[in-house]
Amino acid sequence: MQVLMSANGTEEILKAIDANLTGLRSELHTELAAVRTELRTGLAELKAELVPIKAKLDGLPLLNRHLITTQREVRMLTTAFNDFARENATKGEIEALHEHVDRVQAENAALAVRLETAERLIRELQEARDHR
């Protein structure tokens, strides 16, 4: 008789453990579903943030060409000023050169700012990717 009671007691304990495990599984599935939803939402938000950044990154080659052109114009202007130093330039020619230099410097500054912004956005993207 003692053996039967012991077996019944063990069986009841196993049923209780199984019931507890079933409850824990249910809670775990619920929590995992919430985590999955949160991750999907976060990923969707991240993808939405990347769209305008990708558009800006596509413009980098164009910025680079503009920057190279501006640098070439600066070199040409330096040469022109050196040539004018050897000749008698008129006041109008010198003013035209100054206006051109101002324009080139303004373009160079604007391009430098845009390039710095693009580089910052790239760094932020890389940091965000590395932290995932």
pLDDT at residue 21 above 80?
Answer: yes
The model's pTM is 0.39
Work out the mean pLDDT of the chain and round it to a whole number: 80
Residue 74, domain extent: 59-132
Tell me the two tokens of residue 93.
Answer: 């020619």
**Which of 48, 47, 26, 44 shows the shortest CA–CA distance to 36?**
44
Angle between helices 91-130 and 60-86 (to 10 degrees): 150
Tell me the two tokens of residue 44.
Answer: 């969707």
More confident residue, 102 or 1: 102
Mean pLDDT confidence for 7-15: 80
Number of domains comprising the chain: 2
At residue 1 the predicted structure's pLDDT band, cuts being 50, 70 and 90, is very low
* pLDDT reported for residue 81: 73
* DSSP conformation class of 71: H
Within a domain: 54: no
SS3 state of residue 129: helix
Residues 43, 99, single domain; the answer is: no
Residues 40, 67, single domain; the answer is: no
* pLDDT reported for residue 132: 67
Q: Which amino acid is at 83?
A: D
* Pairwise CA distance, residues 61 & 9, whole Å: 77
pLDDT at residue 117 above 80?
Answer: yes
Residues 71, 38, single domain; the answer is: no
Within a domain: 87: yes
pLDDT tens sequence across 22-35 = 888 999 999 999 99
* DSSP conformation class of 89: -
Residues 63, 128, single domain; the answer is: yes
More confident residue, 106 or 54: 106
Mean pLDDT confidence for 57-84: 77
Residues 21, 78, single domain; the answer is: no
Mean pLDDT confidence for 39-60: 80
* Pairwise CA distance, residues 77 & 108, whole Å: 14
